[in-house]
Structure 1
């Protein structure tokens, strides 16, 4: 807590920082006879925002007993912002070792920066013991973290532990299964999701169509494309059309190209060209090449 003597100095410091007058703020900070946690934390953040991460760390270390939860969160965010994932986790671990209870901001930062499964598992353990256990945003972020790091087992465990799942929870898990090669499980979970009254979004369908492309499931990919609009009023994006087109024969691909709700661009014609070349359809190959030359005359269309 600021004393009546420290408060005017801190107020002046914050005024300079609010006006982006960093040099003046540093001068005031050096002149302060006593510094409260508000001043320390503000300067740690200011240094980090100016790319001066080591200066921020020196200030953090210099706080000593004045460090509070915000101090830990501020320096952790500084390292995360600077792309130093390892140091971000070290700060988080230091918090735990000093019996500083992490809050939502702590977990948001360390989960976002996590780069390996071992650390993710330790973060998850601390999370399960924290007061944030039922926070949906954090649960979804933990789910996303495990999926990003390639652990479907841990991700599935987190997903099933979420009592009140929202669209993001379902979308992350369905898409995660689909993109990790667990197509049957993704289909089953998608059906379960719809039965529970949660309507899928475009991201889920894009993942499913992409999975169909990888597995060569032409009919199912086309079915998803139709179902998006007819059953859920979700409109396909370009990526969806391209995924389906890659699975079709040239004549079918031409029909799809002609019924798209937008003008075919370079990527569409390039995909169509690939379909025609693989099938050996000379007539449609020439048509695609002409279209590509019109769109990009200097491009070499092969």
Structure 2
């Protein structure tokens, strides 16, 4: 019999299968996948495990709802899916907008008695993390132990991540302590969990015990410190990171720049910016925005604007940061112009943008412009005013002396006014001498916010200004009886990359003696220029001489004296204060800028004051 010239059937089948797999590899979109799928149905390869698995993998990798739905249709048509197929579908749903479906698939997998492996659980746990499904996480944890995967570091790390993300730090720590062979991911997850939960001390202890730290370890610590308000500690860690030879990623840089912004650490912020440029680090939208914010909050609004103009694709956050920067520096017109330019560029302002531009109008006394923008929010930007925007409007009207209009706005608000709104009106009453309204608003504030010491102090000041001394003393006594304390005044000054901190009456600084001696000399010069301390309404239980001594030791005055000691003549002194600058400190600082021929920039709780030639940029409108 003559030999057949045709290859064996199994060889033809193998070649055809290889061709199908090759076609799947070359697919670039779902339309081509559907064509190959149709061919697989025709040839019967759709029932073959390998081509069917590849088909599912491609659909999942496309990462959109249509391809995932198509993958599910293919999957449902497979009689006995193997573990890889189940895992593929669970992975697809864990990365989708419907992670709950991954848990449903897992239940079906158990019902069908499909074998589980170590790769089944990480995707399930990712779904639990996205859903914040703690109960389901605990059930899956039991399944992991039951199936013998409890010691697998891959599964354990996924479980650790879910507990951390769910805020179950105690459960996370118990699991962490039981992992026999922890890797860097294990340590980083636990450190990140402590840091995000505000347990910096525990995070630091683990960080110090860690065998080998990578950039994620350092970044978790730095970001955690920033979130907890430990800005000096964050910058110290950032410096330690440099010494350790670890190159910071963008998240670490953003966190460090945020710390600089809060501390007013301009020198360190400039150094980080120079580091970014020198190392040609890609400046993404978040990094560019934080650079603008850092320079603005550190008092260098010109450099903030310079960075802003260099951003090619400006996000709404970048526009908002610059508008807010102009606002806090009292440059209302420039903030308004930028707001208009933003809208012309087709960028839709968000709620924070409106807060920034309304604040700009308030600080610059642009009443009519503020009213127009407030009214336009719903009409032109489809943004209903929030309570923050009403607070800005009350502040705007109050500063301008339109107290009746401000009160009417509060009464017609669609939501219940909060302490910030009433506080804005109380400040306006004090400034413009409407003590009757001020007393009424002050009593509302104390009932609304009984644990805030500033509310009692403001009301006592209103009573004192109205000549009602007994009532003022009673408010102070009420504050004392309730155990409420006023936040102590604190000022920061950044010199040569080191942030120095001062409190009112502070004597903890190593150079205290020199600082107080210098301030006494400054005070003598100011008196020669006609300076008279403003002591009315201050600490009512003190004699006049004691009042003067107390007011002369306010934290910003000590910081300015320290700055004059340690800088060359003509150097700009930059001070950050946690409270509003008092009237006496404002008057004294104006005079210091004239007598010592220097510029002094003070950032208080709400805005910047640039003191120069005996004047302030706020035009005494603060």
Q: Is the TM-score greater than 0.5? A: yes
After superposition, where does 1:19-38 map in structure 2 within 5 Å?
20-23=171-174, 25-26=176-177, 28=179, 32=181, 36-38=183-185
Tell me if 1:174 matches 2:323.
Answer: yes
User: Offset at 1:229?
Assistant: 4.0
Q: Distance in 1 between matches of 2:245 and 2:207?
A: 20
Match of 2:394 in 1: 242
Q: TM-score, normalised by structure 1?
A: 0.70
Q: Distance in 1 between matches of 2:423 and 2:247?
A: 56
Match of 2:73 in 1: none
Match of 1:271 in 2: 425
Instruction: Give the stretch that moved more between structures: 75-84 or 270-279.
Output: 270-279
User: Offset at 1:59?
Assistant: 1.7
Out of 301, 308, 324, the position equivalent to 1:152 is: 301
Q: TM-score, normalised by structure 2?
A: 0.38
User: Offset at 1:224?
Assistant: 2.8
Q: Please give the secondary structure, in 1, of the residue aligned with 2:374.
A: helix
CA contact (8 A) 2:258 2:294 kept: yes
Match of 1:14 in 2: 157
CA contact (8 A) 2:332 2:363 kept: no
User: Offset at 1:135?
Assistant: 0.8
Larger Rg: 2
User: Offset at 1:274?
Assistant: 6.3
After superposition, where does 1:126-275 map in structure 2 within 5 Å?
126-130=275-279, 132-236=281-385, 237-246=389-398, 247=400, 249=402, 252=405, 256=409, 260-261=413-414, 267=421, 271=425
User: Offset at 1:144?
Assistant: 2.0
CA deviations 1:65-101 (Å, max 9, x no partner) are xx43333334434544554433433433344445433
User: Offset at 1:164?
Assistant: 0.3
Q: Distance in 2 between matches of 1:36 and 1:281?
A: 65
Q: Distance in 2 between matches of 1:278 and 1:13?
A: 64
Tell me if 1:41 matches 2:195.
Answer: no
Structure 1 residues 58 and 276 mapped into 2: Cα distance closer, same or farther (>3 Å)?
A: closer
Q: Distance in 2 between matches of 1:98 and 1:170?
A: 36
After superposition, where does 1:104-119 map in structure 2 within 5 Å?
104-114=250-260, 115=263, 116-119=265-268
Out of 225, 231, 237, the position equivalent to 1:91 is: 237
CA contact (8 A) 1:44 1:74 kept: yes
Structure 1 residues 167 and 277 mapped into 2: Cα distance closer, same or farther (>3 Å)?
A: closer
CA contact (8 A) 1:124 1:142 kept: yes
Q: In structure 1, list runs of 5 or more residues that go unmatched.
A: 1-6
Structure with the bigger RCO (C-alpha within 8 Å, sep 6+) is 1
User: Offset at 1:133?
Assistant: 2.3
Q: Distance in 1 between matches of 2:242 and 2:423?
A: 55
Quote the RMSD (CA, aligned, Å): 4.4
Q: Distance in 1 between matches of 2:424 and 2:232?
A: 42
Match of 2:217 in 1: 71
CA contact (8 A) 2:362 2:393 kept: no
Structure 1 residues 55 and 47 mapped into 2: Cα distance closer, same or farther (>3 Å)?
A: farther
Structure 1 residues 205 and 45 mapped into 2: Cα distance closer, same or farther (>3 Å)?
A: closer
User: Offset at 1:195?
Assistant: 2.1
Report which of the two has the higher share of strand: 2
CA contact (8 A) 2:326 2:360 kept: no
- Number of matched pairs: 283
Structure 1 residues 227 and 106 mapped into 2: Cα distance closer, same or farther (>3 Å)?
A: same
User: Offset at 1:168?
Assistant: 1.2
Match of 1:52 in 2: 202
Q: Please give the secondary structure, in 1, of the residue aligned with 2:247.
A: coil
CA contact (8 A) 2:320 2:356 kept: no
Structure 1 residues 191 and 205 mapped into 2: Cα distance closer, same or farther (>3 Å)?
A: same
Q: Distance in 2 between matches of 1:253 and 1:208?
A: 18
User: Offset at 1:152?
Assistant: 1.0
Q: Distance in 1 between matches of 2:365 and 2:299?
A: 23
CA contact (8 A) 1:139 1:162 kept: yes
Q: In structure 2, list runs of 5 or more residues that go unmatched.
A: 1-149, 164-170, 448-455, 464-622
Q: Distance in 1 between matches of 2:394 and 2:153?
A: 57
Q: Distance in 1 between matches of 2:235 and 2:430?
A: 51
